[in-house]
Amino acid sequence: MEEIYAKFVSQKISKTRWRPVPPGSLQTAETFATGSWDNEENYVSLWSIGDFGNVDSDGGFEGEHQLLCDIKHHGDVMDLQFFDQERIVAASSTGCVTVFLHHPNNQTLSVSQQWTTAHYHTGPGSPSRSSAPCTGVVCDNPEIVTVGEDGRINLFRADHKEAVRTIDNADSSTLHAVTFLRTPEILTVNSIGQLKIWDFRKQGNEPSQILSLTGDRVPLHCVDRHPNQQHVVATGGQDGMLSIWDVRQGTMPVSLLKAHEAERAPGWHSRLGVRLQPGHDLTVREFEPRVGLWADGSEPGACFQFCVSLSLCPSPVHVLSLSVPKINKRWEKKKKLLEFSHCHTFP
């Protein structure tokens, strides 16, 4: 059976991200970050699983997750990404983008870099600005790309105080999420159901490719790229639909999966998140509708398995649930973690 440890954290958790392991390492992730939202004071926190990864007799992790350190965050944490082993990038509902630095010697977090007005609205005929939420961030060291409710795309570098490039009015609707395809190319999703590919090598402000679903323009809230096949991406829509896209093949998705019913009831908080991860990754799950996707097989033509996990509870969400499957040294992990699976083979 899968082991699940739950910890009461007294705050609403919006984002969870595992700290990446060093390239080529055979270790599993042992540290993860969380961001909170809609609290009197919001925090970015760093956690460890158990006693820094002690294992039991079966080779699995034991003990509950422990808070290593945290730091106050102005506004709701809209997105959260690890920039590298020591730095975490947080997107705020105030339009600010902050890079936090972890100091392992004394287990503290500090502000390493900050762009306070990365996203903002301007009034008609007026130079005055009002903050616009930064809705998504993606990192590919040394670059950081952000998108926001203002339809703006920013390209930052961690060692630069100003944006390297900004595409104003990149979209007339809200940009909800962004991911890298290749180093010079990004893909964004918006509130009218479109995917747009942008090439930073081009000087213009027009996307190089637009993909969309026919029919209703259902907002797309999340996107992620296959870890091994850069042309394959997955999106999650407001209607609870997961769409799998091959950006080489036309402008339509190659597969559609109904993940959950998207209708909301009063007093219930509903979020849909998509993450494409290698098959042996651990996963952090919150007590709200979440979707986690794994890639089962990395060779061309291998079966690409999408696994969906859903749960629902009334808002506010105050419990952080850490799912720690039994992973032994021989990688004998074939657990039924999720509700259902669907396989689609890509050429």
Is the model's pLDDT at 227 over the cut of 90?
no
Of 57-61, 290-294, 319-323, where does mean pLDDT reach its minimum? 290-294
Q: Say if residue 276's pLDDT is above 60.
A: no
Per the CB < 8 A criterion, the answer to whether 220 and 189 are in contact is yes
Q: Given this model, what pLDDT does residue 46 score?
A: 97
Average per-residue pLDDT for the chain:
75
Longest distance between any two alpha carbons in the chain, whole Å? 68
Lowest mean pLDDT among 30-39, 55-64, 185-194, 319-328: 319-328
User: What value does the CA radius of gyration of the chain take, rounded to a whole number of Å?
Assistant: 20
**Lowest model confidence (mean pLDDT) among 254-258, 260-264, 307-311:** 307-311
In single-letter form, the type of residue at position 93 comes to S
Q: Are 171 and 189 in contact (CB under 8 A)?
A: no
The structure's pTM equals 0.76
What pLDDT does residue 54 have?
Answer: 53
pLDDT of residue 295: 35
pLDDT at residue number 336? 31
Residue 268 has pLDDT above 60, yes or no: no
How many helices (H) and strands (E) the chain has is answered by 0, 29
Mean pLDDT of the 109-131 span: 86
Does residue 188 have a pLDDT over 90? yes
Question: Among 136, 152, 254, 253, which Cα is nearest to 195's?
Answer: 253
